[in-house]
Chain A
Amino acid sequence: MNRKTKLALLEMMLRIRKTELRLAEIYRSGDLTGALHLYEGEEAIAAGVCAALNRDDFITSTHRGSGHCVARGMPLRTLIAEVYGKATGCCGGKGGHMHMFDVDAGIMGTTGIVGAGMPLATGLGLSIQLRKTSQVAVAFFSDGASNNGAFHESLNMAAVWKLPVLFVCENNGYATSVSARRSTSVTDIGVRGAGYGIPGVTVDGNRVDRVYQAASEAVRRARAGEGPTLIECQTYRIRGHYEGDDWWEYRDSAEVEEARRRDPIAFWQAALVEDGVLGEKTLDEMNARIDSDIEDAVQFAAASPLPEPEQAFVPAHPQPA
């Protein structure tokens, strides 16, 4: 990995983290409606995988999707405006945080239905194969979704047809209040690839370098026509399931504190300092750039108008005249 990539990975993780924390702050102030599922602590996965992609590749995301959107380069202005429900949001306020789309950035949607992104990514892969382009499709999902039929059916179909798809499982240990331990038949979800005759790898999802490496190899395979890969990235859901969720009844605070010590950003930052790649000045500039982008986006979103009511019926659904 060259110096530029190393720094870009750090900057992207910081950009995601700071955006998430800013959203949490705005949410607490009471300015947002709806459920907000944040991604703090899982940044290395979005950053590492998306760094291995090209601009014209596709992703499908989850209900915890703002990190993926940032990593794919969705403008922060339209992202935050959408979370505010503003007319200038990426979906004009129709979607909100759980339903964000940006076709220009290859973001074929965050979703409110757990597992729904995997069949879609399979179809994106099918279209790529039929149109004979060299794109790939990535489905992000978490441990909980890997217990749904959508996962198993998609892996099988993608495997049979050798579709250019990456199935990226962000195993953060929980599906709402239900731990993976209590609901998932295997500890390493990567082993499920074998059941479908495709490579299934398990990596430390808090190590951005390892995620990037695994994704790069899977992308190479996909573009070479060798078919899909399952990549399990093991991480931890630091925050509650949604903002305002208090988690203490189903997990121990010690577990959360322990996970905080494995922070992916702190690790990578230290590694780059050690490497001599990162100096104080570079880091300050990085932080300043991100802070000013986020501030600009929040100002923009707050100042933007709400959509006009008649927009509720645009685009129109088919119905009798």
Chain B
Amino acid sequence: MTRSLTYVEALREGMRQEMERDETVFVMGEGVGLRGSAFKQTAGFYDQFGPERVRDTAISELAIAGAAVGAAISGMRPIADLMWIDFTTLACDQICNQAAKLHYVSNGQIKVPAVFRATTGHLRGQAAQHCGSWYAFYCNIPGLKVVLPSCPSDAKGLILSAIRDDGPVIYLEHKMLLNVREEVAEDLAPTPLGVAAIRREGADLTLVASGLMVPESLKAAREVEAEGVSVEVVDLRTLMPYDSECILRSFRKTGRLLVVDEGFRYCGLGSEIISLVIERAMDYMDDSPRQLTARHTTVPFSPPLEDCVFPNSRTIAAEIRDMFGLVKL
């Protein structure tokens, strides 16, 4: 059976089903309990599962993340809600030096089945310290998986996989997608980690995106279609380990690449994917690969300033036109 669910409802349903299925799954974080989380991600959980499995915490990011790791290495499957990716910096030691490394350094004795959830991306007026898109930072740490759904089905499918995975997963929720709706199956199969999705087939350009940049890119692709450019849109879904085969397959077909990345440019995801095609598919290249990223600045508050920072369907379409030497009609 499918029903129309929003992204946040789909995420919630995924967590609820896992908590019903597996007693070792529990949630903790600031406001996950009585309040049901900042964006209602855990609404109703406190009543259904009780305070033991739906734990409100103090504002102690390091201890939240560390307690999740400690619980995970001893038989539990914690979901730690760190609210905004911007606050995960306070939890970084436990995520990057503990969760990421314990399996390896213990020579496989220890497993860390923990999920670290956080919202990501920009939202009007959230400004300097609440608009982070720092996934590249976590992709750079061996031992971590990073996922970012772009639609309700994947919001659910990826949380199922993240919870069941035996290693630490950073699960990111895009603030601008929370209310996006689509039909989602009640008995949805988990979205496998490490597998991208082709959201739109095309012949002329491979456009790689994730999160909010997927719907923005699809909009741009529809626009330039009328002008004769056929764009294939690859939704990464898992940012680490990303689906290199899917990207390469598409690129070998189109010979052109544009990566649209809400994160920053330098040492970022876009640069990574461009180097992938240069290293592995140079012979198929018809044009210089490009990336459209957030501008290299702290995110300003005022709307006309903020509007200059992030890619959107308009700037993506302009970039595509520029690649193909088109002038806007």
Q: Show the binding face of A for B, using Cβ within 8 Å.
A: 32-35, 85-86, 91-96, 98-99, 111-115, 144-145, 147-150, 175-178, 182-184, 249-250, 306-313, 316-317, 319-320
Q: Which of B29-37, B97-105, B185-193, B216-224 binds A?
A: B29-37
A176, B30: Cβ atoms under 8 Å? yes
CB contacts (< 8 Å) of A144 on chain B: these are 30, 58-59
Q: Is B38 an interface residue (CB 8 A)?
A: yes
Selected contact of B57 from candidates A93, A112, A183, A311, CB within 8 Å: A183
B127, A98: Cβ atoms under 8 Å? yes
> Cα distance A302–B169 when bound, in Å?
46
A149: nearest residue on chain B (CB-CB)? Answer: B62
A305: nearest residue on chain B (CB-CB)? Answer: B304
A-contacting residues, B44-70, CB 8 Å: 56-63
B56, A178: Cβ atoms under 8 Å? yes
Please give the distance in Å from A240's CB to the nearest CB on chain B: 11
Q: Is B302 an interface residue (CB 8 A)?
A: yes
CB contacts (< 8 Å) of A33 on chain B: these are 124-125, 301, 303
B58, A93: Cβ atoms under 8 Å? no
A319: nearest residue on chain B (CB-CB)? Answer: B296
CB contacts (< 8 Å) of A308 on chain B: these are 304
Please give the distance in Å from B45's CB to the nearest CB on chain A: 13
A89: nearest residue on chain B (CB-CB)? Answer: B302
Please give the distance in Å from B312's CB to the nearest CB on chain A: 14
CB contacts (< 8 Å) of A316 on chain B: these are 297
Q: Show the binding face of B for A, using Cβ within 8 Å.
A: 30-31, 33-36, 38, 56-63, 86-87, 90, 124-130, 266, 295-298, 300-309
A115: nearest residue on chain B (CB-CB)? Answer: B59
> Cα distance A149–B60 when bound, in Å?
7
**Majority secondary structure of chain A interface residues (helix, strand, loop or mixed):** loop
CB contacts (< 8 Å) of B305 on chain A: these are 85, 93-94, 307, 309, 311-312
Given A177-B31, A177-B34, A317-B297: A183 and B302 interface contact (C-beta under 8 Å) = no
Please give the distance in Å from B303's CB to the nearest CB on chain A: 6
CB contacts (< 8 Å) of A250 on chain B: these are 34-35
A320, B266: Cβ atoms under 8 Å? yes
CB contacts (< 8 Å) of A310 on chain B: these are 308
A34, B126: Cβ atoms under 8 Å? yes
A147, B304: Cβ atoms under 8 Å? no
Q: Could you pull out 16 A-B pairs where Cβ atoms are within 8 angstroms?
A: A33-B301, A85-B302, A94-B300, A96-B127, A98-B301, A99-B127, A112-B128, A175-B30, A176-B30, A176-B31, A178-B30, A178-B34, A182-B56, A183-B58, A309-B305, A310-B308
CB contacts (< 8 Å) of A312 on chain B: these are 295, 297, 300, 304-306, 308-309
CB contacts (< 8 Å) of A147 on chain B: these are 58-60
B56: nearest residue on chain A (CB-CB)? Answer: A178
Nearest first, the 6 closest Cβ-Cβ pairs linking A and B are: A34-B125, A96-B301, A33-B125, A93-B302, A112-B129, A85-B302
> Cα distance A77–B70 when bound, in Å?
50
> Cα distance A95–B127 when bound, in Å?
7
Please give the distance in Å from B235's CB to the nearest CB on chain A: 28
Given A33-B303, A93-B300, A177-B34: A184 and B58 interface contact (C-beta under 8 Å) = yes
Please give the distance in Å from B310's CB to the nearest CB on chain A: 11
> Cα distance A175–B300 when bound, in Å?
26
> Cα distance A310–B35 when bound, in Å?
40
Please give the distance in Å from A306's CB to the nearest CB on chain B: 5
Please give the distance in Å from B190's CB to the nearest CB on chain A: 31
CB contacts (< 8 Å) of B129 on chain A: these are 98-99, 111-113
A176: nearest residue on chain B (CB-CB)? Answer: B31
A85, B35: Cβ atoms under 8 Å? no
CB contacts (< 8 Å) of B38 on chain A: these are 176
A94, B296: Cβ atoms under 8 Å? no
Please give the distance in Å from A241's CB to the nearest CB on chain B: 9
A148, B60: Cβ atoms under 8 Å? yes
B126, A35: Cβ atoms under 8 Å? yes
B304, A306: Cβ atoms under 8 Å? yes
> Cα distance A114–B36 when bound, in Å?
20
> Cα distance A176–B301 when bound, in Å?
22
Interface core residue of A94, A182, A306, A319 (most chain B CB under 10 Å): A94
CB contacts (< 8 Å) of B298 on chain A: these are 94, 317
> Cα distance A178–B35 when bound, in Å?
8
A249, B35: Cβ atoms under 8 Å? yes
A113, B296: Cβ atoms under 8 Å? no
> Cα distance A112–B296 when bound, in Å?
20
B303, A313: Cβ atoms under 8 Å? no
> Cα distance A248–B129 when bound, in Å?
28
CB contacts (< 8 Å) of B86 on chain A: these are 112-113
CB contacts (< 8 Å) of B302 on chain A: these are 85-86, 92-94, 96, 306-307
CB contacts (< 8 Å) of B35 on chain A: these are 176-178, 249-250
